[in-house]
Structure formats: structure tokens, C-alpha cells
């Protein structure tokens, strides 16, 4: 009887205990970069991100972007990076606070324990949509132009129409245009590939996001923006009709 009662109590305790945190694509994450241990104590610093919602399996991308931010904003000598997660925001905020307090008490970072409030950009893909373009006559040239409509950070793209490459390289804030001959009544495939996420150029965020604007001119004109991760892209149609 005692054994049964003990087993029941143990089972009840297990059921009542909160589940251990497990990483998924809905994690509350914070990261820290710490400077080289061989530096003098008064030179060492620890840099913390804010708590952000993300996927813990993508921490390499988060720490790369955070490192790029620190390289730009601070005279940074760090190499040791760590990321941690909790399953809800309050728990992550408490853990972050404890970690910073522990570093401050340790006397290892007399150069400072710094809250940067950095967090990765939230990313939402913005692919190309179909273009419906009119031309005058049965055939004509379309003018296809691309540019970086945000911070000029060295984004590179490739653009092709029916597998004919019409642009390849870095985009600037100024339009770069090419011409393609088309026939009325036809549909053409246009494909845009983001060669990189960011060229890390200029006074930009350096987030791993390739952004730009594309304009197609015939008798009518359509303009769209794109937003892709490096190495990704989108494909759409150019539907041509006679005017």
C-alpha cells in the first residue's frame, strides 16, 4: 500500500511539474558576445542583445548579424558568442537580467557589461507578382529597370526574362535599365535571384535581406519591390497585350 501511495505521489508531482524548455521556431532568444579573455580586465566587455522572438536553430545567422553590428558601432575585439532561449518572453527577460548581473559581479568585464538593445530584423518575404503590360503594336521593346530603393548596402541580383539574363551585379539607388523585345499576346517568365543578402556597404543595418525595386515600361508601366534572403528569389510572369 505504501509503495502504491508513493508511486501515486511521484506521478502527481511529475504531472504538476512544468515541462522542460525545448527549442522550436517560436523561441524567445537573447545572445551575448564577449571580448577576448587575453585582454586586460579593464578592456574586456560583454555585449548583450535584447530579447527577441526567433528560431533557436538559426542562431548562427543571429550572431553573424549581431557581430556585424558590433563591428560597426564599437571598437570590438570579441570572439566568444552564446545564445540562450526560453519559451516565453518574461522568462527570457529574467534570464537575460541574471546573466548580465552575473557578468557584472564577476569582475571579468571591467570594461563594461553593455545592453545594446540590438535585435534581428523581422523578415517577411516580398516576392515578385505578375506584371500586366501593354505595348503599342504587335511587338515592341520593354524597358526593365532595377535599383536599391532602401539603404545602398551592396545588394547584388540577377534578373532574367525567359532565361535571357538582362542584369547581373550590384544595384545602386539609381535605376539600371535594359531592353527586351516582346510580342503582344504572349506571356514571359521573369526571374529575380538575390545573389547576396547584404554587401555590408555604407551606413546600413547589414541585415541579411536583399531589397530592391523593379520597373517594367511599355505603353504602360508597373513597379514592384522585392525582399529576399540571400540566395533566394522569385519568379513571375510578364503578360503582354497590344494596346
Instruction: Compute CA distances 24 → 88, 90, 117, 172, whole Å.
Output: 12, 17, 23, 38
Buried b (16+ CB within 10 A) or exposed e, 114-149: bebebbbeeeeeeebeebebebeeeebebebbbbbb
3-state secondary structure the chain: CHHHHHHHHHHHHHHHCCCCCCCCCCEEEEEEEEECCCCCCCCCEEEECCCEEECHHHHHHHHHHHHHHHHHHCCCCEEEEEEEEECCHHHHHHHHHHHHHHHHHHCCCCCEEEECCCCCCCCCCECCCCEEEEECCCEEEEEEEEECCCCCCCCEEEEEECCEEEEEEECCCCCEEEEEEEECCCEEEEEEEECCCCCCCCCCCCCCCEEEEEEEECCCEEEEEEEECCCCEEEEEEEEEEC
Contact of 101 with 109, CB cutoff 8 Å? no
Question: Residue 64: is its pLDDT beyond 90?
Answer: no
Structure confidence at residue 40 (pLDDT): 76
Question: Residue 127: is its pLDDT beyond 90?
Answer: yes
| Residue 207 confidence class, pLDDT cut points 50, 70, 90 | low
Question: Residue 220: is its pLDDT beyond 80?
Answer: yes
| Residue 81 confidence class, pLDDT cut points 50, 70, 90 | very high
Taking the C-alpha atoms of residue 81 and residue 74, their distance in angstroms, rounded to an integer, is: 16
| Residue 21 confidence class, pLDDT cut points 50, 70, 90 | very low
Average pLDDT over residues 106-126: 87
CA atoms within a 13 Å half-sphere pointing along the CA-CB vector of 42:
0
| The residue to which cell 551585379 is assigned | 169
Residues 6+ apart with CB under 8 A from 120: 52, 54, 61, 62, 65, 66, 207
Structure confidence at residue 15 (pLDDT): 36
**What percent of the chain lies above the pLDDT cut of 70?**
87
Structure confidence at residue 2 (pLDDT): 38
Q: Which three cell numbers stand for residue 202?
A: 555604407
Taking the C-alpha atoms of residue 100 and residue 69, their distance in angstroms, rounded to an integer, is: 20
Structure confidence at residue 206 (pLDDT): 61
Highest-confidence segment of 107-121, 141-155, 200-214: 141-155
Question: Residue 188: is its pLDDT beyond 60?
Answer: yes
Question: Residue 195: is its pLDDT beyond 90?
Answer: yes
Question: Residue 180: is its pLDDT beyond 90?
Answer: yes
Average pLDDT over residues 33-45: 81
Mean pLDDT of the chain: 86
Structure confidence at residue 8 (pLDDT): 43
Structure confidence at residue 57 (pLDDT): 82
Question: Residue 6: is its pLDDT beyond 60?
Answer: no
| Residue 148 confidence class, pLDDT cut points 50, 70, 90 | very high
Amino acid at each position: 500500500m505504501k509503495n502504491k501511495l508513493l508511486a501515486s505521489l511521484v506521478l502527481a508531482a511529475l504531472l504538476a511539474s512544468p515541462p522542460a524548455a525545448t527549442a522550436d521556431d517560436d523561441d524567445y532568444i537573447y545572445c551575448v558576445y564577449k571580448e577576448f579573455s587575453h585582454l586586460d580586465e579593464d578592456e574586456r566587455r560583454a555585449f548583450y542583445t535584447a530579447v527577441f522572438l526567433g528560431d533557436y536553430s538559426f542562431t548562427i545567422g543571429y550572431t553573424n548579424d549581431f557581430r556585424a553590428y558590433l563591428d560597426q558601432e564599437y571598437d570590438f575585439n570579441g570572439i566568444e558568442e552564446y545564445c540562450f532561449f526560453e519559451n516565453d518572453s518574461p522568462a527570457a527577460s529574467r534570464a537575460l537580467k541574471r546573466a548580465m548581473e552575473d557578468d557584472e559581479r564577476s569582475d571579468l568585464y571591467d570594461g563594461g557589461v553593455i545592453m545594446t538593445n540590438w535585435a534581428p530584423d523581422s523578415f517577411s518575404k516580398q516576392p515578385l507578382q505578375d506584371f500586366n503590360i501593354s505595348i503599342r503594336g504587335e511587338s515592341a521593346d520593354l524597358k526593365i529597370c532595377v535599383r536599391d530603393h532602401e539603404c545602398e548596402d551592396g545588394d547584388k541580383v540577377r534578373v532574367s526574362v525567359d532565361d535571357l539574363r538582362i542584369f547581373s551585379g550590384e544595384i545602386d539607388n539609381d535605376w539600371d535599365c535594359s531592353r527586351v523585345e516582346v510580342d503582344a499576346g504572349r506571356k514571359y517568365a521573369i526571374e529575380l535571384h538575390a545573389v547576396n543578402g547584404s554587401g555590408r556597404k555604407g551606413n546600413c543595418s547589414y541585415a541579411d535581406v536583399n531589397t530592391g525595386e523593379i520597373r517594367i515600361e511599355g505603353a504602360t508601366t508597373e513597379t514592384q519591390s522585392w525582399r529576399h534572403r540571400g540566395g533566394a528569389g522569385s519568379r513571375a510572369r510578364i503578360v503582354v497585350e497590344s494596346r
